[in-house]
Structure 1
């Protein structure tokens, strides 16, 4: 039995949910090594209005920044069409150093959607390129501190993540927020970014929905979801070390499942979706209330 659980929960969340808390030197670390051969650093300097988009640049201070379309030629979607690169990006909290801020500015982003709660934003406000539209769409019902306080084993932590993903299907607040996000992405011109704190759960669910609209196969969608573990590898290792140093190894083991993703997390939400709606398409229309025109606009943007 852990003593002073509310205090421990607060400390763990302060460390685990803020990308740079207690992680001195992370901004100067090398980017995590790629999981698949065709991920590279890209070069925003090469991007122009008449040139194909390269891979999303790797950002040391926003490690989970990446293109929803994948790398290389882009993921294969409906009827063999490739997903369009440089349209929708996903990320963790956008707190770039000066070099990464210049890189983001070169991408000519039109809008950034922040899916974090007020508490998360207060812990780590974004630092954004000049002129970008900043849209808040908080997605998370319940109290994170209370949820973490109930964790008594690593499996409890995993179950918490599964329940969060199920809530993306069952929660009225969550569904309304995802409707607003997808509507914004469909109706706003130019390159756009959506993000949460670690860029893995709320962001991962939104990416799954977009890739499903594009017609990407289930195995590729899951593989892309799991890439968070590679992009966030250095952050997760340093965060775990910080928790162990301040709260002890037992606590670090207890909360380690919160620092990454497992296929069962996303699958729990997908299973709930299929149980209630039958398919992603029906969830989008019946669950989120998206119109055929909105979905058609998204698909047009998503496919090259």
Structure 2
């Protein structure tokens, strides 16, 4: 693979937005994705007020911004309790236009946790409302360019994404990052956001852990994971078109699996958890070394 294709593909797999894709392109408000069918939108029995908090705003310039707890009444966790909305958010790179920045300001965010590597941050630094604490917790190891250079088929691309999710379980650096992130989320007050660049891999894994901790069923967790393909549909289409235009249709086909998520990506990480720890709960305590107090604090945020 030539150097240009390797550099471009590395940017894609780390979910770095390509400037050439978005520069000068007006982004329309994305259509609202379908809600997972497991949500009970008729129930209002959650939270201290007995009614659900408003849904997270749809942000055209931060398309994968959403509430960890879901939409409507929120996902259902332990004991049939709906998760608390308006507490923890997930996102892609936070580079809002003025209208979306104003929407973020209205949320009253306390902290943002950026999970991106140094080169990703240098490519597109976050733009945050005044007064929001910004915390860097890079979660990515290995030489992405070397991994990309081994891709010779569409299935190789899929296997790379599966290996990334396995590394969330097996990698020392990755586990250390998730340990710090979940500890910070538990200890800090106020509304918080965590994000990588496309909000799909590192962010998707974190969301899976939080939903599992809250007792959300596995089918709902997988559906939530796959919603990235709806929220990021326009970004993925534009990025694919850019690859095709600059590198050819063959390259676009080859790297297309890197632009979204598939259930097999998440399942690869879950299978690695089962093989090494036996359960997500054991991964949280033994693999990440999280204390009972930390886990209880996270459950309290999510369930009240």
Pick from 9, 12, 29 the counterpart of residue 9 of structure 2: 12
Q: Distance in 1 between matches of 2:12 and 2:200?
A: 16
Query: What are the Cα deviations for residues 152-204 of structure 1, in whole angstroms up to 9, with x where unaligned?
Result: 11100000000000000001111111000000000000100000010000000
Unaligned runs of 5+ in 2: 38-47
Kept after mapping to 2: 8 A contact 1:92/1:195 = yes
Q: Label 1:147 to 1:120 Cα distance change in 2 as closer, same or farther (>3 A).
A: same
Q: Label 1:212 to 1:279 Cα distance change in 2 as closer, same or farther (>3 A).
A: same
Kept after mapping to 1: 8 A contact 2:90/2:195 = yes
Kept after mapping to 2: 8 A contact 1:15/1:21 = no
Secondary structure, aligned partner of 1:110: strand
> Partner residue of 1:46?
none
Q: How does 1:1-304 map to 2 (within 5 A)?
A: 2=1, 4=2, 6-14=3-11, 17-19=15-17, 21-24=19-22, 25-36=24-35, 52-304=52-304
Q: Distance in 2 between matches of 1:102 and 1:20?
A: 24
Query: What are the Cα deviations for residues 73-119 of structure 1, in whole angstroms up to 9, with x where unaligned?
Result: 00000000110000100000111111111111111100100000001
Q: Distance in 2 between matches of 1:259 and 1:212?
A: 25
How much has 1:257 moved relative to structure 2? 0.2
Q: Label 1:137 to 1:12 Cα distance change in 2 as closer, same or farther (>3 A).
A: same
Q: Distance in 1 between matches of 2:271 and 2:11?
A: 31
Aligned length: 291
The two structures have a TM-score, normalised by structure 1, of 0.92
How much has 1:22 moved relative to structure 2? 1.7
Query: What are the Cα deviations for residues 17-63 of structure 1, in whole angstroms up to 9, with x where unaligned?
Result: 3335222455532313422289xxxxxxxxxx988521000000000
How much has 1:7 moved relative to structure 2? 1.9
Q: Distance in 2 between matches of 1:152 and 1:120?
A: 25
Unaligned runs of 5+ in 1: 39-48
Secondary structure, aligned partner of 1:55: coil
How much has 1:149 moved relative to structure 2? 1.7
Spell out structure 1 runs of 4+ moving beyond 6 A: none
Q: Distance in 2 between matches of 1:87 and 1:238?
A: 31
How much has 1:12 moved relative to structure 2? 3.0
The two structures have a TM-score, normalised by structure 2, of 0.92
Secondary structure, aligned partner of 1:22: helix
Q: Distance in 2 between matches of 1:18 and 1:291?
A: 34
Q: Distance in 2 between matches of 1:15 and 1:176?
A: 24
Secondary structure, aligned partner of 1:128: coil
Q: Distance in 1 between matches of 2:115 and 2:31?
A: 24
Q: 140-149 vs 225-234, which deviates more? A: 140-149
Query: What are the Cα deviations for residues 219-269 of structure 1, in whole angstroms up to 9, with x where unaligned?
Result: 000000000000000110011001000000000000000000000000000
